[in-house]
Structure 1
Amino acid sequence: MAWVYLVAAGLLEIVWAFAMKQSQGFSRLTPTIITLVAMIGSFALLSVSMKSLPLGTAYTIWTGIGAVGAFLVGIAVLGEAASAMRLVAAALILGGLLLMKLSSPA
């Protein structure tokens, strides 16, 4: 169940990163509220997952999901560049996440 919480925390990290971008420096109320609520939820789920997962594993997976997810949202929703080098960099992060998962206790 810890892995489910961790993935949910990572997905909420993507939500708050996108909402923070939309808040335009916290000058727009609704995206600011979404940012804060998603951050709290993300941190709470991360902390629950850390009850049984190692710190290094949980934190690495959480930040990796957020980083790659925000990168993909940036491309798909915000029209950011999807250059070959950026895609390779994202693939390397995914590879690192896979290795972290495989090297962690069940």
Structure 2
Amino acid sequence: MSAWGFLAAAIVLEIAGTFLLKLSNGFERWGWGTLSILCYVGCFQALAPAVKAIPVGVAYAIWAGVGIVAAAVLGVLAFGERLSAVQLFCIALVLVGAVGLQWSTARG
């Protein structure tokens, strides 16, 4: 698998871990909390080979940025959370930054 594939896997596992963390209700529901921890462990196992080939700052920014956007979308869709226009704008800036970093790194 390529470094970008590992990074994508790390992002998916981080998003799943965050979703499960919310379901655990502060670890009151230990089953969801345990699954969350397992996702985070897998996330870092996937992130480690990614940062061998992708500059760590770029990989981390993309990983965190896409995770922020996905967590916000999941919060709205799955949990009925609300975001203000300013919050949506700032999340959009994060996404633009993550895409720009990936685009410039893949070509640079």
Which ranges of structure 1 fall in alignment gaps of 5 or more residues? none
- Partner in structure 1 of residue 104 of structure 2: 103
Structure ranking higher in helix proportion? 2
Which ranges of structure 2 fall in alignment gaps of 5 or more residues? none
Is contact 1:64–1:94 with CA below 8 Å preserved after alignment?
yes
Task: Give 1:82 shift.
Answer: 3.5
Task: Give 1:74 shift.
Answer: 0.1
- Partner in structure 2 of residue 49 of structure 1: 50
- Partner in structure 2 of residue 29 of structure 1: 30
CA RMSD of aligned residues (A): 1.3
Task: Give 1:101 shift.
Answer: 1.2
Distance 2:41 2:71 in 1: 18
- Partner in structure 2 of residue 62 of structure 1: 63
Task: Give the number of aligned pairs.
Answer: 106
Task: Give 1:102 shift.
Answer: 2.2
TM-score, normalisation: structure 1: 0.92
TM-score, normalisation: structure 2: 0.90
**Given residue 51 of structure 1, which amino acid in structure 2 is its aligned partner?**
K
